[in-house]
Amino acid sequence: MQSLLFVTGTRADFGKLEPLATAARKAGFKVSFFVTGMHLMARYGLTKLEVQKTPGIVSYEFMNQRAGDPQDTILAKTVLGFSDFVAEQKPDLVIVHGDRVEALACALVCATNYVRCAHIEGGEVSGTIDEIFRHCNSKLANYHFVSSPAAAKRVQALGEPSESIHVIGSPELDFHSQDSGVSLAEVKTRYDIAFEDYGICVFHPVTSEADQMETQARALYGELEASKRNFVLILPNNDPGSEAIFEVINALPQQQFRAIPSMRFAHFSELMKNASAMVGNSSAGVREAPFLGVPSLDVGTRQTNRAQAPSIHSSPAQDTAKIRAFLETEWGKRYPPHTAFGEGTATELFIKTLHEPSFWEGGLQKGFVDAI
């Protein structure tokens, strides 16, 4: 029985990895999670508790940061901690996701210790240092499970062999394509949401624009407040610049805004399905929202060029006129589901690949494959 170790540092990547981990456990693999990053920080909802609730899966925790640590320090701490962990546990395959610094640290440890590593959702573009981390992870990993043919081409352009690249779609869409298992009334009760009609806003800091985040946040949230519409706010992640966003959020009127550190994935899915709009710079606005047919406004540069769909609109963070126009014209609309990033079959394709004997037989010495 091969052992699979999933690395998770945030509520966002756990939502994408959990369907794959659950499917792998049901398929007979030994599955565990290396839990670090924001998961262990009370300010962000102590979401390690959600990981612990995953049936039949062991979770290991590692505190890799304190509030205010710069990303290079977090990277160094995670490398040291994960190196010791891998030496003890000896997993057959480590699975990392996306573009976070924790994923980069663990992919680096795998590469230098010749441990098989798979990267989920590589080959995508965005507007910040996240893209640099994402492409680094692709170069460090041995296998690539990407969300679209376009992403597959980008990973191949990085010199990765085509046989190591598998298009499966975005894993979180598997969950969104099904009944969430909870009602909207249950979601509102659990999270004390009093609004009948509401939008969702998630606005994270952009590390390369940390000194501008207060100005950007004031422009965005000021326009949302002026609209008189109700919003559920999911608090930002812990990247540099987050403190400025927190200050703006803390001054918003509570009768119009319900701020929540984090939500259980099933509850967030149900909340999104019933939202009148989604605003901000989370990947959920350019990935999940279009799949669910919910109009979204991508604000600022964090998701630049990440995705295109009829339901996705964009605005500079300080263009209040565009933000206002979106809220006036798109609120409450519904679009056909956008399936460019899969139709909810990622877990099936993931497990099918893991069951292929050739997946486990390849060597770990990587080479560069020149484009033809």
> Do 136 and 200 reside in the same domain of the chain?
no
- Does pLDDT of 363 surpass 90? no
Q: Report yes or no: 74 and 47 within 8 Å, Cβ to Cβ.
A: no
Structural domain boundaries, residue 204: 184-329
Phi, psi of 336 (to 5 degrees): -60, 145
Q: Per-residue pLDDT tens for 241-279?
A: 999 999 999 999 999 999 999 999 999 999 999 999 999
Q: How far is CA 352 from the centre of its chain?
A: 23
Contacts for 309-316: CB closer than 8 Å, 24+ residues apart: 309/335, 309/338, 309/340, 310/335, 310/336, 310/338, 311/335, 311/338, 312/285, 312/286
> Does 368 fall in a domain?
no
- Does pLDDT of 238 surpass 90? no
CATH number of the domain residue 106 falls in: 3.40.50.2000
Angle CA 348–175–26, to nearest 5: 45
- Does pLDDT of 59 surpass 80? yes
Is the pLDDT higher at 125 or at 199? Answer: 199
Q: Which of 120-124, 128-132, 189-193, 292-296 has the lowest mean pLDDT?
A: 128-132
> Do 245 and 153 reside in the same domain of the chain?
no
Q: State how many domains the chain has.
A: 2
> Do 26 and 167 reside in the same domain of the chain?
yes
User: Which residue do the tokens 């946040």 mark?
Assistant: 217
> Do 81 and 203 reside in the same domain of the chain?
no
> Do 41 and 77 reside in the same domain of the chain?
yes
Written as one letter, the residue type at 42 is A
**pLDDT value of residue 105:** 98
**pLDDT value of residue 290:** 96
CA pair distance 238, 10, nearest whole angstrom: 10
Indicate the pLDDT class of residue 209, thresholds 50, 70 and 90.
Answer: very high
**pLDDT value of residue 128:** 76
> Do 306 and 204 reside in the same domain of the chain?
yes
**Dihedral over alpha carbons 185, 199, 220, 123 (to 10 degrees):** 100
**pLDDT value of residue 348:** 96
**pLDDT value of residue 305:** 79
- Does pLDDT of 371 surpass 90? no
> Does 366 fall in a domain?
no
Written as one letter, the residue type at 355 is H
> Do 159 and 193 reside in the same domain of the chain?
no
> Do 266 and 355 reside in the same domain of the chain?
no
> Do 292 and 237 reside in the same domain of the chain?
yes
pTM over 0.75: yes
> Does 371 fall in a domain?
no
> Do 220 and 80 reside in the same domain of the chain?
no
- Does pLDDT of 73 surpass 90? yes
> Does 129 fall in a domain?
yes
Indicate the pLDDT class of residue 327, thresholds 50, 70 and 90.
Answer: very high
**Taking residues 201-210, what's their average pLDDT?**
93
Average pLDDT, the chain: 95
- Does pLDDT of 127 surpass 80? no
| Tokens at 197, concatenated | 């009609």
Q: Which of 128-132, 135-139, 264-268 has the lowest mean pLDDT?
A: 128-132
